[in-house]
Chain A
Amino acid sequence: MTESSVNKLLNGDSCRRTSNGLKTSKNGFVKNHCLLQQPHKYRRPRDKNPNVPHNPSLYKKPFVESFEETPLMVAVLTYMGYGILTIFGYLRDFLRQWNIEKRHIARERDEQKDFVPLYQDFENFYNRNLYIRIRDNWNRPVCSVPGPKMDLIERSTPNYNWTFEYTGRVLKDVLNLGSYNYLGFAENKGPCADAAIEATQAYGVGVGSTRCEMGNLDIHEELEQLVARFLGVESSMAFGMGFATNSMNIPALTGKGCLILSDELNHASLVLGARLSSSTIRVFKHNNMQSLEKLLRDAIVHGQPRTHRPWKKILIVVEGIYSMEGSIVRLPEIIALKKHYKAYLYLDEAHSIGALGPNGKGVVDYFGLDPKDVDIMMGTFTKSFGAAGGYIGGKKELIDYLRCHSHSAVYATSMSPPVAQQIITSMKIIMGEDGTTLGADRLRQLHENTTYFRRKLHDMGLIIYGNEDSPVIPMMLYMPAKIGAFGRQMLKKNIGIVGVGFPATPIIESRARFCVSAAHTREMLNTVTRTKFPRIQSNYSPIQRALTEE
């Protein structure tokens, strides 16, 4: 029997079409009712571009992200470099073991020799043989406001970074490309600082109790109402520490019998919170909607692992901007998926609140979506507001529940009053309620700086990751020696940058991460791009090289 006659028998009419236009297969059933389905063609892995959104109608403006592949030669040379350093690492460990060389590193005592060795794994090997050699690029003491320019205390090391000493000099006006100062609110003069001083004089600095006991000040209530108005949600709650907001509230929301679907590159606080909650955790590929949809379908079809009962809750945990990649979450597609499969969404806007969107209201504003679609909107005040702490916004029932059941609300000290006042003032400036256009100016300046800096770096032929609109700009360095060299050379030219290496990124993808700020002027950005980058980083990008060869 042919396929068409089978269809006629089962369906009555010939070649019946289903509602979304898919043809019925042999038995008249439609397989693969996927919402965001790829066409059934075999694609060579190189042709597949997971960065192209499959439903472009959901996006109001073009979503341009690029994660260029590591060039083959670079990957080979990076592995070779790591191999050479590993050999020298073994040599130095040998010398240390046999007391030929003086030992500075933590080691076991003689009495512990019969126990399981403590320092033999790869992380410790990497730490003592590579990280310590280039460790002078991190933990540099800052002795001024970390605004667009800062002062660093100069250090010298007599024994190759095992110990540091202060030389007594202070490096003044080092250009700061590492602080998360997106809107430039890290300043010690101006309306925010004055308001914070008044709050200190009214309330003092310490609160001395938790929110549930005696630590609930009226400034906290004012802050929470303001945050709820800013985000466009019914109610919100503020916590003293951003990391604790994630790690202490996810356990209050999910528990055993719930499923958490979290992105591959989620922050440690989200991972910790998910693990503390003792829910089942499944990981989907970074920003990949097909992977997420597949996991959702499997979860709904198969249920919990052994009993096959339905999951109590399915929570999708994503971030607004991923700080190591500079990528923005595909929020319209996730919301479509969430509504279709009836899951819940937890959005961590640590880096995107205040930095994205025409009004600075985060990634929801950037895509032009309704804030009521996101069930739990979480964010921090550390990055764009120049303060410290975190918030969670959502429906009133949710926030009332969290006020009683969150570990952070019950056990952690509440936010300090000057910090809360700083947030209130800066949020009013961003919303424009203080009567000036300072907020709108800063948002526009941040956007201009981001576009300008990204374009300049791209024109120089460097490989830049991430979305065109994200103010976090990771520039790929790949080789381990370049992280150290780049940091030191930049400091010689009075520019402070952050280099990121192995435990935070995959081992061959080391990078330098620039955080553009609204307080940077075009002059400052030009100073950076005019430095002799090519001395360290040659023209890797094959796309750019193809363009310059024409």
Chain B
Amino acid sequence: MNFKNLREYLAWLYYQYLLITGIYVLEPWEKSIFNSILFSVIAMVIYTSYVFVPIHVRLALEFFTRMFGGQPESTMTLMT
């Protein structure tokens, strides 16, 4: 399969999406309903991850560094 330009490639991808999800057999208004629901769910997922994932990652890293960073101090106190 050789695609002459990006437009053709995107059209092929959309066609594959229609076939695999089974949307291909539905009438156009049903396709629009499904596409809009899917698009809004994906948009919400992206927005939530953009807002919350950096904060969670930072907190998790802080938690783990405190747990392992604090270790040498406690073993030293045990030995002495």
Which among A85, A91, A532, A535 is the interface contact of B22 at CB below 8 angstroms?
A: A85
Knowing A77-B20, A81-B20, A536-B19 are in contact, say whether A481-B1 is a contact too (CB < 8 A). no
The yes or no answer to B34 lying at the interface (CB within 8 A) is yes
Q: Offer 10 A-B interface pairs, CB within 8 angstroms, sorted by A.
A: A80-B22, A81-B20, A84-B21, A133-B25, A133-B26, A481-B18, A481-B22, A481-B23, A484-B24, A534-B1
Residue of A nearest to B25 (CB): A133
Which among A82, A481, A534, A538 is the interface contact of B24 at CB below 8 angstroms?
A: A481
Q: Is the CB of A481 within 8 A of B25?
A: yes
The yes or no answer to A479 lying at the interface (CB within 8 A) is yes
The yes or no answer to A480 lying at the interface (CB within 8 A) is yes
| Contact string against A for B residues 15-38, beta-carbon threshold 8 Å, 1 for contact and 0 otherwise | 110111111111100100010000
Which among B1, B12, B20, B26 is the interface contact of A479 at CB below 8 angstroms?
A: B20
Q: Is the CB of B24 within 8 A of A485?
A: yes
Which residues of chain A have C-beta atoms less than 8 A from B1's C-beta?
532, 534-535
- Alpha-carbon gap, A160 to B24, bound state (A): 13
| Contact string against B for A residues 523-543, beta-carbon threshold 8 Å, 1 for contact and 0 otherwise | 000000000101110100000
Q: Is the CB of A81 within 8 A of B27?
A: no
The yes or no answer to A134 lying at the interface (CB within 8 A) is yes
Residue of A nearest to B12 (CB): A535
Given A81-B20, A479-B20, A482-B19: 4 more A-B contacts, CB < 8 Å: A80-B21, A480-B22, A481-B18, A485-B24
Which among A81, A91, A534 is the interface contact of B21 at CB below 8 angstroms?
A: A81
The yes or no answer to A130 lying at the interface (CB within 8 A) is yes
Q: Is the CB of B22 within 8 A of A81?
A: yes
Which residues of chain B have C-beta atoms less than 8 A from A484's C-beta?
24-25
Q: Is the CB of A88 within 8 A of B19?
A: no
Which residues of chain A have C-beta atoms less than 8 A from B22's C-beta?
80-82, 84-85, 479-481
Q: Is the CB of A485 within 8 A of B19?
A: yes
Give the interface residue-count category, chain A: 20 to 34
| Shortest Cβ gap from B23 to chain A (Å) | 7
Which residues of chain B have C-beta atoms less than 8 A from A91's C-beta?
30
Which residues of chain A have C-beta atoms less than 8 A from B34's C-beta?
84, 88
- Alpha-carbon gap, A534 to B3, bound state (A): 13
- Alpha-carbon gap, A85 to B20, bound state (A): 11
Knowing A84-B34, A535-B1, A535-B12 are in contact, say whether A481-B19 is a contact too (CB < 8 A). yes
| Contact string against B for A residues 124-139, beta-carbon threshold 8 Å, 1 for contact and 0 otherwise | 0000001001100000
| Shortest Cβ gap from A483 to chain B (Å) | 9
- Alpha-carbon gap, A82 to B26, bound state (A): 12
- Alpha-carbon gap, A63 to B64, bound state (A): 61
> Would you list which residues of chain A between 120 and 160 have a CB under 8 Å from chain B?
130, 133-134, 160
| Contact string against A for B residues 29-71, beta-carbon threshold 8 Å, 1 for contact and 0 otherwise | 0100010000000000000000000000000000000000000
Residue of B nearest to A83 (CB): B22
- Alpha-carbon gap, A84 to B34, bound state (A): 9
Q: Is the CB of A535 within 8 A of B15?
A: yes
Which among A480, A532, A536 is the interface contact of B25 at CB below 8 angstroms?
A: A480
Which residues of chain B have C-beta atoms less than 8 A from A480's C-beta?
22, 25
Which residues of chain B have C-beta atoms less than 8 A from A535's C-beta?
1, 12, 15
**Residue of B15, B16, B18, B26 contacting most chain A CB atoms (<10 Å):** B26
- Alpha-carbon gap, A85 to B23, bound state (A): 7
| Shortest Cβ gap from B7 to chain A (Å) | 15
| Shortest Cβ gap from A162 to chain B (Å) | 11
| Shortest Cβ gap from B21 to chain A (Å) | 6
- Alpha-carbon gap, A88 to B23, bound state (A): 10
Residue of B nearest to A532 (CB): B1
| Shortest Cβ gap from A173 to chain B (Å) | 27
Which residues of chain A have C-beta atoms less than 8 A from B26's C-beta?
85, 88, 133
Q: Is the CB of A130 within 8 A of B25?
A: yes
Which residues of chain A have C-beta atoms less than 8 A from B23's C-beta?
84, 481
- Alpha-carbon gap, A538 to B13, bound state (A): 12
